[in-house]
Amino acid sequence: MRTIEIGERTGLDSWRLVDREVPQAGRGQVAIRVHAVSLNFRDVLLADSTYGFPVRDSRVIAASDGAGEIMAVGEGVTKWMVGDRVAGNFNQNWIGGAQPVDAFHHMLSGARDGMLAETVVLNEEGVVAIPEHLSFEEAATLPIAAVTAWNSLYGLKPLQAGQAVLTLGTGGVSIFVVAGCVLLADGNTRVIADQIRRAKCAALFEINPAVPYPEDYEEAWPRPAARQRLATSCLS
């Protein structure tokens, strides 16, 4: 099968296309035919050798986020069937609750191979079902950026009605935060984007009309602010 390895990590140009044997699903694993992969800023950090967490070696498969359909299940797998549409979890052993002490050793495209291959093998518990209304391409964008945004808004300190939200730039996390704020039923959440380019502000406004244009910032984000603020990080 074809796959892309991260190579010597001297930049994205060091990524290399290689052929490998098709991996087989072992006990408690599923083999996935990958249909779509998305890239995050994390992938740039990995390529530039500036990523601060464990990376196995130069042969690690690139890209942590992807989606596809299950083509085979290993012994003991009961949750999935051949043909199921799934997306991979970025961290294969952190499914919920407190972070495991060895979580950094189970990150895709880090200590483990990533998703940029024709076939990948993941843990049975390390994949989630794709809703019918989402395409493979849409689902492939969710594992890092959307989950980070969800945790920012609804995780340890859930966003409350009437709070203001500050996003930094227009990266994947910020885009999902802006979209996530639309889900608040009260309609009073202020969303302030730290972005001065009008074209990008206009794009954010299409996602969420609560995002003001730059000239409206002072009114939307008064100093001192009377409302609580929630700043969301773009780092995953």
**Token digits for 211?**
């995002």
pTM above 0.75, yes or no: yes
Give the model's pLDDT for residue 182: 73
Alpha-carbon distances, residue 112 vs 6, 48, 230 (angstroms): 12, 18, 33
Beta bridge partners of 107: 91
pLDDT average, residue stretch 103-122: 94
Residue 81: per-residue pLDDT: 97
For residue 83, pLDDT beyond 70 = yes
Residue 9 has pLDDT above 60, yes or no: yes
Q: Helices (DSSP H) in 66-146: which residue ranges?
A: 136-139
Both tokens of 64, joined, read 């942590």
Weakest mean pLDDT among 53-67, 171-185, 216-230: 216-230
User: Taking a C-beta distance cutoff of 8 angstroms, is the pair 53, 99 a contact?
Assistant: no
Domain range list for the chain? 2-140, 147-231
What is the average pLDDT value for the chain, to the nearest integer? 84
- Confidence band for 84, pLDDT divided at 50, 70 and 90: very high
The closest alpha carbon to 113, from 44, 64, 43, 66, belongs to: 64
pLDDT at 175: 84
Q: CB of 27 within 8 A of CB of 71?
A: no
* The token pair that represents 218 in the structure block: 């002072």
pLDDT level of residue 27 (50, 70, 90 thresholds): very high
What confidence category does residue 235 fall into, taking pLDDT thresholds of 50, 70 and 90? Answer: very low
Q: Which CATH code, of 3.40.309.10, 3.90.180.10, 3.20.20.105, 3.40.50.300, is assigned to 2-140?
A: 3.90.180.10
Give percent helix, percent strand, percent coil of the chain, each to the nearest 5.
Answer: 25, 25, 50
3: amino acid identity, one letter = T
**228: which 2 tokens?**
């609580």
| Alpha carbons 140 and 236: distance in angstroms, whole number | 16
Q: At residue 186, does pLDDT exceed 80?
A: no
Q: 147-231, what's its fold?
A: Rossmann fold (3.40.50)
Q: How far apart are CA 93 and CA 98, in angstroms?
A: 11
Q: List, for residues 129-184, the tens digit of each pLDDT value.
A: 999 999 999 999 999 999 988 888 888 788 877 777 888 777 888 888 888 877 76
